[in-house]
């Protein structure tokens, strides 16, 4: 978002905004700040436009980063985009609201009266009105300023990490809402300068709670859609049907065009937590009991366990995992993305190790998997010597792999857990006489 705001230009082609990114003075925050100030996008991306936009903004001088919260004092517009985590506790998850509260207090301690505070964090519905607004009111009151001297709005990100990362912010529809009509107008004015609203008009909702609800419902819908396919994948494998072919046929029907497909699991920072936000908001922000959200909770549980389905299949195909040498290809939660947070590969890897498998992991976009594997190979390991290769993430590098060359004389079992292998690769597998199994397909060769 910082890169998107910094690249906005007025009619004279001058930057519309000077952007200062504020992060915490912890190792992660400092690493990100240092990268941005050096003109580098702070984490691995395959989007050249995002890298160029960051580099150009720093060179032009309208993007810098700091740990100094007093920077809020110079801003007309303050975007809050901090993380808001689920705290996973034995008694069930709870909302980790303290980080958001802290960020809002920091903003309130320095902000100019009347500034626009735009919450872009994915928040549990009600958080902007019932947590952010009271925190800002209290902070301004403490400074002897009018308690309502802020314009508060919410607009959620639909950013899609990957090859079109920057584009997914600028050239995409946005939803927003204001805590007051004046705040909604200010948010609209701001977003209209950053986003290509001519082609992607904004949608204003009636309240910040409605905007927050839209975000978590949007992601819950997707998580449930993914989970639904899980039981059909098991059925298809059992009766010998290629579910990808079936779904491609169903998707021709316009009402069903976004049907999900079988896969390795659901990871990343959003779909693993957002479907649980509404229930927790109902209970902890709105004090309503009895809204249980069984679909959302079940979807998250099914999606969390999905990588174990692939593992069980591998276990069965190999006749046990103890002592088996397994190559796991793909660690990130999504293709062409270097983000390994809550990735299905983590669940798979840890359980495979627990069952005695000797697992080597590789990902062309992840060089650091803290706390899980410290020494990831930079290059794709040779296939020889492995009993099985699991294709977990459809990164471009894996789909461009010449299987005949890479496999050489080796004939490990291939498990395509996420529709990674292309038609040409599947053809090669058949020709080579490799044993190959596909999640959602069954025996391929």
Location of structure tokens 């910040």: 208
Instruction: Assess 71 for contact with ligand NAD (CB under 6 A).
Output: no
3-class SS at 324?
coil
Reading the block at residue 374, the tokens are: 């410290």
Going by the DSSP 8-state scheme, the letter that residue 361 receives in this structure is E
User: Which 240-269 positions form the footprint of ligand NAD (CB under 6 A)?
Assistant: 269
310 vs 332 by CB, closer to ligand NAD: 332
C-beta neighbour count of 389 within 10 angstroms: 27
- 3-state DSSP call for residue 82? coil
Mask 101-130, x = binds ligand NAD (CB under 6 A)?
-xx--x--------------xx--------
Build a one-symbol-per-residue string for 268-307: x at contacts with ligand NAD by CB under 6 A, - elsewhere. -xx-------------------------------------
> Applying CB under 6 A, does 83 fall inside the site for ligand NAD?
yes
The count of chain residues that interact with ligand NAD, using the rule CB under 6 A, is: 21
* Cα–Cα dist 121/133, whole Å: 14
Q: How far apart are CA 266 and CA 376, in angstroms?
A: 22
Residue 131: CB minimum distance to ligand NAD, A: 14
**How far apart are CB 32 and ligand NAD at their closest, in Å?**
6
**DSSP code of 113?**
T
Q: Which of residues 391-430 bind ligand NAD (CB under 6 A)?
A: none
Q: Which is nearer to ligand NAD, 172 or 406 (CB)?
A: 172
| CB nearer ligand NAD, residue 174 or residue 313 | 174
The full DSSP string for 260-310 is ----S---SSSTTTGGGHHHHHHHHTS---S---HHHHHHHHHHHHHHHHH
CA–CA distances in Å: residue 441 to residues 261, 406, 430: 11, 24, 14
**For the chain, give me the number of helices (H) and strands (E)?**
16, 15
Closest approach, Cβ 156 to ligand NAD, in A, equals: 7
The answer to whether 22 contacts ligand NAD (rule: CB under 6 A) is yes
Q: Is 35 in the site for ligand NAD (CB under 6 A)?
A: no
Alpha-carbon distance of 428 to 405, in angstroms, equals: 11
Of 47, 135, 157, 336, the one binding ligand NAD by CB under 6 A: 157
Q: Using the minimum distance from each CB to ligand NAD, give the nearer residue, 28 or 60.
A: 28
In DSSP terms, which residues pair with 114 in a beta bridge? none
CA 422, CA 399: separation in Å to the nearest integer? Answer: 6
CB of 393 to ligand NAD, least distance (A): 16
Interface region with ligand NAD, contact rule CB under 6 A, candidates 55-63, 98-106, 169-177, 302-310: 98-106
Is position 24 an interface residue for ligand NAD (rule: CB under 6 A)?
yes
Minimum CB–partner distance for residue 26 and ligand NAD (Å): 6
Q: How far is the CB of 174 from ligand NAD (least distance, A)?
A: 12
Select from 71, 159, 228, 376 the one that contacts ligand NAD (CB under 6 A).
159
Of 237, 385, 242, the residue nearest 312 (C-alpha): 237
Q: Which is nearer to ligand NAD, 161 or 330 (CB)?
A: 161
Q: How far is CA 205 from each of CA 81, 210, 303, rounded to the nearest angstrom?
A: 20, 6, 30
32 binds ligand NAD (CB under 6 A): yes
* CA–CA distance, 296 with 68 (Å, rounded to integer): 39
Give the footprint of ligand NAD on this chain (CB under 6 A).
22-24, 28-29, 32, 81-84, 99, 102-103, 106, 121-122, 157, 159, 161, 269-270
């Amino acid at each position: 978002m910082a890169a998107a705001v910094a690249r906005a230009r007025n009619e004279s082609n001058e930057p519309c905004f000077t952007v200062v990114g504020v992060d915490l003075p912890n190792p992660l925050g400092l690493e990100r700040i240092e990268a941005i100030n050096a003109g580098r996008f702070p984490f691995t991306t395959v989007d050249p436009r995002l890298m160029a936009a960051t580099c150009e903004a720093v060179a032009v001088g309208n993007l810098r980063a700091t740990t100094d919260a007093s920077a809020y004092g110079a801003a007309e517009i303050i975007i809050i985009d901090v993380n808001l985590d689920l705290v996973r506790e034995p008694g069930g998850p709870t909302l980790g609201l303290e980080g958001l509260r802290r960020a809002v207090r920091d903003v309130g301690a320095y902000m100019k009266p009347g500034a626009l505070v735009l919450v872009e964090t994915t928040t549990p519905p009600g958080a902007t009105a019932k947590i952010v607004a009271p925190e800002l009111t209290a902070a301004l009151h403490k400074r002897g300023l009018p308690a309502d001297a802020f314009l508060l709005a919410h607009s959620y990100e639909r950013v899609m990490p990957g090859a079109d990362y920057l584009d997914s912010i600028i050239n995409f529809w946005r939803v927003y809402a204001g805590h007051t009509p004046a705040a909604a107008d200010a948010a609209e004015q701001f977003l209209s300068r950053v986003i290509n609203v001519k082609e992607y008009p904004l949608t204003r909702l009636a309240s910040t709670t409605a905007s927050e609800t839209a975000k978590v419902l949007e992601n819950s819908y997707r998580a449930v859609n993914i989970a639904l396919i899980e039981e059909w994948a098991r059925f298809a494998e059992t009766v010998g049907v290629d579910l990808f072919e079936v779904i491609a046929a169903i998707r021709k029907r316009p009402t069903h065009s976004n049907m999900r497909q079988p896969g390795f699991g659901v990871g990343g920072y959003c779909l693993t937590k957002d479907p649980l936000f509404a229930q927790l908001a109902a209970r902890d922000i709105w004090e309503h009991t009895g809204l249980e959200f069984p679909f959302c909770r079940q979807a998250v549980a099914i999606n969390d366990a999905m990588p174990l389905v692939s593992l069980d299949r591998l276990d069965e195909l190999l006749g046990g995992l103890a002592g088996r040498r397994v190559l796991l290809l793909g660690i990130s939660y999504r293709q062409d993305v270097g983000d390994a947070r809550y990735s299905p590969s983590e669940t798979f890897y840890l359980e495979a190790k627990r069952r005695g498998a000797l697992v080597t992991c590789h990902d062309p976009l992840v060089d650091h998997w803290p706390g899980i594997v410290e020494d990831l190979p930079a290059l794709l390991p040779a296939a020889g010597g492995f009993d099985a290769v699991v294709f977990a993430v459809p990164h471009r590098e894996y789909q461009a792999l010449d299987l005949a060359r890479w496999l050489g004389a080796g004939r490990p079992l291939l498990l395509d857990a996420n529709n990674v292998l292309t038609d040409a690769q599947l053809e090669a597998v058949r020709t080579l006489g490799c044993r190959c199994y596909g999640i959602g397909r069954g025996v391929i060769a």
